[in-house]
């Protein structure tokens, strides 16, 4: 990661009976909040508008001063630190991103390092490192924010927050202004980044689905600034602490459990793979032994090309005749909820699962997802309609409409 500020290890965050009362307010914005975020974990503050979640987060870096109680970072009170020093050592990502429009991307990333007196060479090297880390090409360093998409600007915002390798990060609705497709991608990429960096993060959202996906622990707050429940996502879904939490989490708690599992955590179906020119006899044998009764055509790197048509198995050698594309291709690291969404969007009962190099490692089916959620296939939204659809990729028998 290169040179840092020397405070790269994660720190615990502890709220001790923290209250914020604004002058003239009828009730506290935050009322007696007590919780502890272990080092290296993501704590999501979630709740309806006006519940005090953003206020609670902004008291960590003293953008808002608490009325009473205390907040400890690594065992030390934030009251013992000057606000400007504290903020330089805490990464901060907001929904509006807040990039300086007349400064280049590299200069935006270097905002805090420049305040700390880093050399130009050191800042330049760090900017390049961070662009690579958040998945942006290095040539973007000399562009301006207006030349980037919303998702790209949000990545720059994350890079800027990581510039001095802070032990703590605050994220206020960081993906809220991004379209759904890019939002899912940014969430997934940030979780992969967090698995590597292990920062201690306070993450604010109003979206319970995002909270369940992103959080190691979730603090559900209710109007009046009171903590309704603080628990890991699985506990929140399985045992809501009150009718308020139960209503806020939603009636589809069983389906939300799909956000707690990744594709790699479940038993995938086996599938026979083949390449053009391969003898058909061996492929037919492997297909008979697999969970799926059709074969998947792959390239020389074992990456999926498409589902093979029965005509492709005619004769002595495999021919590149497909009954449908391989879509959707599912990543081993995808959460099951996102994988289900991909299957439904592609009107497919199953899709090939690929590993880190894009190689096929198995097949994810609607039936497997139904078992993971603990329901019959008819209870998974869209499964019944997919099974009846004549446009399902790879569903039904091995002949398909082009063989009738």
Angle between helices 366-373 and 336-345 (to 10 degrees): 140
pLDDT score of 13? 96
Burial class (CB in 10 A: 0-12, 13-18, 19+), 74: middle
Question: What is the pLDDT averaged over residues 229-257?
Answer: 88
DSSP state letters, 175-203: TTTS-HHHHHHHHHHHHHHHHHH--EEEE
pLDDT of residue 383: 58
Give the per-residue pLDDT at 382: 58
Higher pLDDT, 106 or 99: 106
CA dihedral 92, 96, 99, 105 (to 10 degrees): 90
C-alpha torsion sign, points 22, 27, 32, 38: negative
Tell me which of 3.10.580.10, 1.10.3720.10, 3.60.15.10, 3.20.20.70 is the CATH number of domain 263-393.
Answer: 3.10.580.10
* pLDDT level of residue 386 (50, 70, 90 thresholds): low
The domain made up of 13-251 has a fold known as Rossmann fold (3.40.50)
Percent helix / strand / coil, the chain, rounded to 5: 40, 25, 40
| Cα 268 from Cα 262, distance rounded (Å) | 12
Contact 74, 167 (CB under 8 A): yes
**For the chain, where do the domains classified as CATH 3.40.50.300 start and end?**
13-251
Q: Is the pLDDT of residue 391 over 50?
A: no
Q: What string of DSSP letters covers 35-91?
A: EEE-TT-EEEEE-STTSSHHHHHHTTTTSS--SEEEEEETTEEGGGS-HHHHHHTEE
Question: Region 194-211: what's the mean pLDDT?
Answer: 92
pLDDT of residue 225: 93
253 vs 384 pLDDT, higher one? 253
Least reliable range by pLDDT among 157-161, 174-178, 289-293: 174-178
**pLDDT on residue 390:** 39
Question: What pLDDT is recorded for position 402?
Answer: 37
Assign residue 350 a region: left if phi > 0, alpha if psi is -120 to 50, beta otherwise? Answer: beta
Mean pLDDT of 325-342: 89
Task: Determine the 3-state secondary structure of 102 from DSSP.
Answer: coil
Specify the range with the lowest mean pLDDT, choosing from 138-147, 328-337, 349-358, 393-402.
Answer: 393-402
Q: What is the mean pLDDT of residues 173-202?
A: 86
Q: With a cut of 90, say whether residue 337 has pLDDT above it.
A: no
Residues 19 and 27: their CA atoms lie apart, in Å, by: 10
Q: Which of 140, 202, 149, 181 is nearest to 15 (CA)?
A: 202
Mean pLDDT of 306-334: 90
Mean pLDDT of 315-336: 90
Look at residue 143 and give its three-state secondary structure.
coil
Q: Read off the pLDDT of each residue in 147-159 and give the average, rounded to a whole number.
A: 88
CB 29 within 8 A of CB 5: no
Averaged over 388-403, what is the pLDDT? 40
3-state secondary structure of 136: coil
User: Would you state the pLDDT for residue 403?
Assistant: 36
Give the model's confidence band at 346: pLDDT under 50 very low, under 70 low, under 90 confident, else very high. confident
Average pLDDT of the chain?
86
Q: Does residue 401 carry a pLDDT above 50? A: no
Determine contact, residues 362/270, Cβ cutoff 8 Å.
yes
Between CA 118 and CA 127 the distance in angstroms is 12
User: What distances in angstroms separate CA 61 from CA 137, 169, 375, one per listed residue?
Assistant: 31, 10, 44
pTM listed for this prediction = 0.71
**pLDDT > 70: what percent of the chain?**
89
Q: Give 245-265 pLDDT, tens digit per residue.
A: 999 998 777 777 787 888 988
User: In whole angstroms, what is the distance from residue 91 CA to residue 113 CA?
Assistant: 12
How many other C-beta atoms lie within 10 A of the C-beta of residue 85? Answer: 10
**Dihedral of alpha carbons 232, 233, 238, 241, sign:** positive
Answer yes or no: is pLDDT of 404 > 60. Answer: no
Candidates 119, 122, 121, 110; CA nearest to 160 is: 110
- CATH 3.10.580.10 maps onto the chain at 263-393
Helical H segments across 201-319, by residue range: 208-214, 233-238, 243-249, 253-256, 280-289
């Amino acid at each position: 990661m290169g040179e840092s500020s020397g405070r790269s290890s994660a720190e615990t965050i502890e709220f001790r009976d923290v209250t914020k009362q604004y002058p003239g307010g009828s009730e506290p914005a935050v009322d007696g909040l007590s919780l502890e975020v272990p080092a290296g974990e993501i704590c999501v503050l979630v709740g309806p508008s006006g519940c005090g979640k953003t206020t609670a987060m902004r008291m960590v870096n003293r953008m808002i001063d608490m009325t009473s109680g205390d907040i400890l970072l690594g065992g030390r009170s934030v009251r013992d630190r000057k606000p400007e020093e504290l903020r330089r050592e805490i990464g901060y990502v907001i929904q509006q991103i807040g990039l300086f429009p007349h400064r280049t991307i590299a200069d935006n990333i270097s905002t805090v390092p420049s305040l700390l007196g880093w050399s130009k060479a050191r800042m330049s090297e760090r900017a390049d490192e961070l662009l690579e880390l958040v998945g942006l090409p290095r040539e973007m360093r000399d562009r301006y924010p207006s030349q980037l998409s919303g998702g790209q600007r949000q990545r720059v915002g994350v890079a800027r927050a990581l510039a001095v390798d802070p032990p703590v990060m605050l994220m206020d609705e960081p993906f809220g202004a991004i379209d759904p497709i890019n939002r899912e991608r940014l969430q997934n990429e940030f979780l992969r980044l967090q698995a590597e960096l292990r920062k201690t993060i306070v993450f604010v959202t109003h979206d319970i689905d995002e909270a369940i996906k992103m959080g190691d622990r979730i603090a559900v707050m209710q109007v009046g600034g009171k903590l309704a429940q603080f628990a890991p996502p699985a506990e929140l879904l399985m045992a809501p602490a009150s009718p308020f939490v139960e209503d806020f989490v939603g009636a589809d708690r069983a389906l939300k459990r799909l956000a707690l599992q990744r594709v790699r955590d479940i038993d995938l179906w086996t599938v026979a793979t083949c390449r053009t020119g391969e003898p058909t006899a061996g492929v037919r044998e492997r297909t008979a032994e697999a969970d799926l009764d059709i074969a998947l055509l792959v390239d020389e790197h074992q990456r999926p090309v498409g589902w093979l048509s029965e005509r492709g198995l005619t004769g002595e050698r495999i021919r590149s005749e497909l009954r449908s594309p391989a879509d959707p291709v599912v990543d081993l690291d995808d959460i099951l909820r996102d994988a289900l969404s991909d299957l439904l969007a592609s009107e497919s009962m199953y899709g090939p699962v690929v590993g880190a190099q894009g190689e096929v490692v198995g097949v994810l089916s609607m039936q497997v997802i139904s078992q993971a959620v603990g329901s019959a296939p008819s209870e998974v939204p869209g499964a019944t309609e997919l099974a009846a659809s004549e446009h399902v990729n790879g569903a039904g028998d091995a002949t398909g409409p082009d063989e009738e």
